Amino acid sequence: MDKAKGRVESGVGYVKKNFLAGLDIADFNALNPAVIHWLNTVANVRLHGETGKRPVDRLPRERQSMTQLPPHAYDIATIDQVRACRQFRVAVDGNRYSVPAEYAGAPLTLKTYPDRLCIYHREKLIARHVRSYDRKKDFELPDHPKALLAQRRKARDQKIFMRFVSLSDKADNYYRQLEQRRMNPAHHIRQIVALSEIYGDQAVQRAIEDAFTFQAFSCEYIANLLEQRIRKLPQSGALHLTRRQDLLEITVAKPDMEIYNKSLKKSEEKS
């Protein structure tokens, strides 16, 4: 047993002294191609000191005694049970990594690899991040906040709708008319609620009721009705009536006939 252990350690020492010695490894991704080239050109074609044969020639015979490798690579991850915080984050080595917002507060399984993090909910993979060795960094994938944003948008739209319904007894019926006639009724609802902040609830209530008379179902119609009601028309002046007696007293200047005489003389001279 001790002799076999020595042989293994001797092989490790050979790699360290002949391949890794003095090698500056800037990127581990380039290590595999480099070691394969070294094996094919140096280590496997040399005469082995103990067997006196080349390892490349011994390999076919030894391969018959080897067992088949597992179909999947050995999982070297460390596994921890974690819980996502309210900001749908998981803390790892001083950094924070996002998970989908719907898993905020949920118990999760964290698998930590040297180059990546995999986060599971039960057996389902819900997040995968590149592992960072910095500190106090926050990493969020673009899709993770979508559920939270949709939930907040839905809550905001519901609040606006309840505000709209409170404006008039006919508001609910008005909304149904918008659904039938408009592509985006929620947009018109938001605009009408905004108009109530400008013109007041009572003015908007009256405009909604008038809209049924004119069959005007849009925020533009409501705005027009509100604007028409506050527009000030110019006051009319006093009416002056002309009396017949005044007409009889009108003085008309005597026409000057000399202008016609001059025109007639010019015509005769030309002829």
**What pLDDT does residue 82 have?**
96
Q: Are residues 51 and 96 in the same domain?
A: no
Domain boundary among 101, 122, 143: 143
Which has the minimum average pLDDT: 105-109, 111-115, 141-145, 181-185?
181-185
Cα separation of 189 and 200, whole Å? 15
Q: Are residues 185 and 156 in the same domain?
A: yes
Residue numbers of the domain that contains 106: 78-143
Cα separation of 110 and 81, whole Å? 6
Q: Are residues 160 and 86 in the same domain?
A: no
**What pLDDT does residue 181 have?**
81
How confident is the model over 9-19, as pLDDT tens digits?
777 888 888 88
Q: Are residues 182 and 218 in the same domain?
A: yes
**For residue 232, what pLDDT band results from cuts at 50, 70 and 90?**
low
Record the tokens describing residue 6, joined without a space.
């020595």
**What pLDDT does residue 245 have?**
61
Q: What is the mean pLDDT of residues 165-173?
A: 90
Burial string for 242-268 (b: 16+ CB within 10 Å, else e) reads: eeeeeeeeeeeeeeeeeeeeeeeeeee
Higher pLDDT among residues 247 and 226, named by residue: 226
Q: Are residues 86 and 12 in the same domain?
A: no
Q: Are residues 154 and 137 in the same domain?
A: no
Q: Are residues 157 and 216 in the same domain?
A: yes
Cα separation of 178 and 150, whole Å? 23
**For residue 239, what pLDDT band results from cuts at 50, 70 and 90?**
low
Q: Are residues 155 and 208 in the same domain?
A: yes
Record the tokens describing residue 82, joined without a space.
């974690």
Domain membership flag for residue 207: yes
Domain boundary among 125, 143, 161: 143
- Does the structure show a pLDDT above 90 at 268? no
Count of the separate structural domains present in the chain: 3
**For residue 119, what pLDDT band results from cuts at 50, 70 and 90?**
very high
Share of the chain above pLDDT 90, in %: 32
Cα separation of 101 and 233, whole Å? 56
How confident is the model over 41-64, as pLDDT tens digits?
888 888 887 788 898 888 888 888
Domain membership flag for residue 71: no
**What pLDDT does residue 88 have?**
93
Q: Are residues 100 and 114 in the same domain?
A: yes
Domain membership flag for residue 65: no
Domain boundary among 230, 249, 265: 230
Q: What is the mean pLDDT of residues 237-257?
A: 66
Domain membership flag for residue 107: yes
CB-neighbour burial class of residue 59 (10 A; exposed 0-12, middle 13-18, buried 19+): exposed
Query: Average pLDDT, whole number, for the chain?
Result: 84
Q: Which amino acid is at 100?
A: P
Domain membership flag for residue 73: no
Higher pLDDT among residues 6 and 55, named by residue: 55
Which has the minimum average pLDDT: 190-194, 248-252, 260-264?
248-252
Q: Are residues 33 and 54 in the same domain?
A: yes
- Does the structure show a pLDDT above 70 at 160? yes
Q: Are residues 134 and 153 in the same domain?
A: no
**What pLDDT does residue 128 have?**
96
Q: What is the mean pLDDT of residues 85-96?
A: 94
Q: Are residues 86 and 128 in the same domain?
A: yes
Domain membership flag for residue 85: yes
**For residue 183, what pLDDT band results from cuts at 50, 70 and 90?**
confident
Domain membership flag for residue 236: no
Domain membership flag for residue 38: yes
Q: What is the mean pLDDT of residues 154-166?
A: 89
